[in-house]
Amino acid sequence: MTTLLAVSNFSTATQAIVVKPRISSVVRMTDSTFSVVSPITTISTQGSYVIIYGNGFTTNSQIFIRSVGSKGASVAPLISFISSTQINCLLPNSNAGSKMLYLVNNVGYTVITIVTYQ
């Protein structure tokens, strides 16, 4: 049997200590060693190595890319947890356009930002 828990199942004090992820910036166009080559604002349709900065990241965080209006999502094929404030990843190939980048931490909290493939 599976028991589903909602945030409302926890006291306000417990909710306050759970770290929710936040993305402060996505540095695009790094090489495969995650050295910044050019911090530009678009991602290659062939995929790109990126560094994501923020807070609340966990060792088992997952990253997905989804087109606006799409029901499916692509999983980032490479995700490296560096710290609670940095994750390095390889974003998957995608067609040109704005995409939603989802970062889900190990307790299920999700943060979404928009990235542009070109």
Predicted local distance difference test score (pLDDT) of residue 35? 78
* Predicted TM-score of the model (pTM): 0.74
Q: What is the pLDDT of residues 10-52, one digit of tens each?
A: 666 665 555 677 777 776 667 778 777 776 667 888 888 888 8
The Cα 103–Cα 113 span in angstroms is 9
Predicted local distance difference test score (pLDDT) of residue 78? 93
Predicted local distance difference test score (pLDDT) of residue 79? 93
- Domains of the chain, each with CATH number or no CATH: 25-117 (2.60.40.10)
Q: What is the pLDDT of residues 59-100, one digit of tens each?
A: 989 999 998 888 889 999 999 999 988 999 999 999 999 899
Residue 86 φ/ψ, nearest 5 degrees: -150, 135
Residue 15 φ/ψ, nearest 5 degrees: -60, -35
